[in-house]
Amino acid sequence: MGLFIKKSVLTATILLVACSVAEAQLGKNLLGKVVQDASEKKESVSAAGGSNVSVPNGKAYYVNIEKGSARGAGTKEAPMKDIQKAIDSAADGDVIRIAQGNYLGPLDRGWIQIKGKYVSLEGGWNDDFTER
């Protein structure tokens, strides 16, 4: 009986170690794919200050609580006023640049919702989106 328990414990330990290694490798492979997918969607450009800034290949939407409009197209010249509207208009890979200010969401609910979209939100831009 004692030999059976020792073999069972040894077998369980070996399986546990083997499964841990396999799980770690699967996680590593998944992480590598995510990084590869992200790098394929981005390109590096040089900013005015000489530093590299990562910019997604998608469209950029602009939001400004002070200068934006509910009917704004989301361009630098005609920014949107509402972050939620920009999120709803954006497609996967797009970036939303948000000027400084306090944004409370639609109808001042105090929250926004990003559901099933892969967009980047960049906050802290000045009013004309030339500096962050």
The per-residue pLDDT for 17 is 64
pLDDT, tens only, 62-90: 999 999 998 999 999 999 999 999 999 99
Question: What is the residue type of 87?
Answer: I
- Is the CB of residue 98 less than 8 Å from the CB of residue 72? no
Please compute the mean of the pLDDT values over residues 80-107 and round it to a whole number: 92
Q: Is 67 exposed, middle or buried (0-12, 13-18, 19+ CB in 10 A)?
A: middle
Residue type, 128: D
pTM of the model: 0.57
Query: Can you read off the two tokens belonging to residue 80?
Result: 């949107």
pLDDT confidence of residue 86: 95
> Hey, how many other C-beta atoms are within 10 angstroms of the C-beta on 129?
19
pLDDT band at 40 (very low <50, low <70, confident <90, very high): low
3-class secondary structure, 12: helix
Q: Which amino acid is at 89?
A: S
Instruction: Give pLDDT, residue 51.
Output: 43
CA–CA separation, 54 and 60 (whole Å): 13
- Token digits for 34? 């995510």
The reported pLDDT for the residue numbered 58 is 86
